[in-house]
Amino acid sequence: MAAENGPTASEYIVHHLTHWQNHPMKGVVDFSVVNIDSIFWSVLLAVLSSFFLWRAARAASSGVPGRFQAAVEILVEMVDTQAKGIIHNAQSRKMVAPLGLAVFIWVFLMNAMDLLPVDLLPTVWGWITGAAGQDSHHAYLRVVPTADLSTCFGLSVSVLLVCFAYNIKIKGVGGWLHELFTAPFGNHPILWPVNFAMQMIEFAAKTVSHGMRLFGNMYAGELLFMLIALMGAAAAGSVSGVLLPVGHVIAGAIWAIFHVLIITIQAFIFMMLALVYIGQAHDTH
């Protein structure tokens, strides 16, 4: 893409990978920075998923279910089956199974934002804020919350806190502290520091891998959609690239179809790991 006609490929990618923030980062790690776009879309999709579940519960009937009710019943049955196989405490499942269902739908909707055209919502946002046209590169808006590391870590840390809550609920404060210092190597006082260190490493590793797995897949998917979009931009500026628009459409369609599987699988994996980690909080050593 010629620089005089628009941004270069690298500028285009950097623009679309820049968050709408309260202020620019002042270092590699800056906890004062807030990614406003990730928070906005996460909260909006959380409200939509809650409304989706509320409508399903309100419209449920004992008669022949409609398509909407049947789809929700399939999801509920799927999550409940997984929860029963992992969490054997029936009382806990009354809370954990609906939590798993909410997590699955919420993460799926956040992932599905990646299926929207790359420039659609940022362009609309540019029009709303008056930044369209020559100054449209000043309108920053990333619409896939799960392609933001802070969102994914926020989700995984939330699961960690739920695990802590169930550890205390099931084992009691004293029982859980006893387990932290005596598992996995034994109850000898010499082993207490080693046991505690191993427990902390396990909690940290599970939390980091839980969030990074979702982030890595969704960030890569977002980046690939941008690269495919650049094929069309390159075709527009190339007289000889007659077949490039065709390749652009074919590549975009293939990746979009494949990405439908990715966003669903990643939502399912995140939900399953949440159930597994909460289930582990019920186990005693």
3-state secondary structure 40-66: HHHHHHHHHHHHHHHHHHHHCCCCCCC
pTM: 0.89
Nearest 5 degrees, angle CA 66-CA 71-CA 72?
100
Inform me whether the pLDDT recorded for 13 exceeds 70. Answer: yes
pLDDT of residue 243: 62
What does the pLDDT look like over 212-262, one tens digit per residue?
999 999 999 989 888 887 776 666 656 455 666 676 677 778 888 888 999
pLDDT of residue 121: 86
What does the pLDDT look like over 64-80, one tens digit per residue?
778 888 889 999 999 99
pLDDT of residue 174: 94
pLDDT of residue 64: 77
Contacts of 137 (CB under 8 A, 6+ apart): 7, 11, 15
- Helix-helix angle 90-112:67-86, to 10 degrees: 130
For residue 126, name the pLDDT band (cuts at 50, 70, 90).
confident
| 153 vs 120, higher pLDDT | 153
Contacts of 6 (CB under 8 A, 6+ apart): 12, 233
pLDDT of residue 199: 95
Mean of the pLDDT values across residues 181-202? 93
pLDDT of residue 31: 84
Distances (CA, A) of 35 to 8, 39, 77, 174, 230: 25, 7, 35, 39, 25
Kindly state the percentage of the chain with pLDDT values over 70. 89
Check if the beta carbon of residue 258 is closer than 8 Å to that of residue 87: no
What does the pLDDT look like over 44-54, one tens digit per residue?
999 999 998 89
Kindly state the percentage of the chain with pLDDT values over 90. 54
Alpha helices, H only, the chain: 9-16, 36-59, 67-86, 90-112, 120-128, 149-182, 192-236, 244-280
The SS3 assignment for 21 reads strand
Distances (CA, A) of 217 to 10, 111, 220, 272: 21, 10, 5, 16
- Other C-beta atoms closer than 10 Å to the C-beta of 145 total 29
For residue 94, name the pLDDT band (cuts at 50, 70, 90).
very high
Per the DSSP assignment, residues forming a β-bridge with 35 are 21
Check if the beta carbon of residue 150 is closer than 8 Å to that of residue 215: no
Q: Which residues are catalytic?
A: 209, 213, 217
Name the average pLDDT for the chain.
87
d(CA 197, CA 26): 33
Inform me whether the pLDDT recorded for 285 exceeds 70. Answer: no
What does the pLDDT look like over 34-43, one tens digit per residue?
999 999 999 9
For residue 132, name the pLDDT band (cuts at 50, 70, 90).
very low
Q: How many residues does the chain have?
A: 285
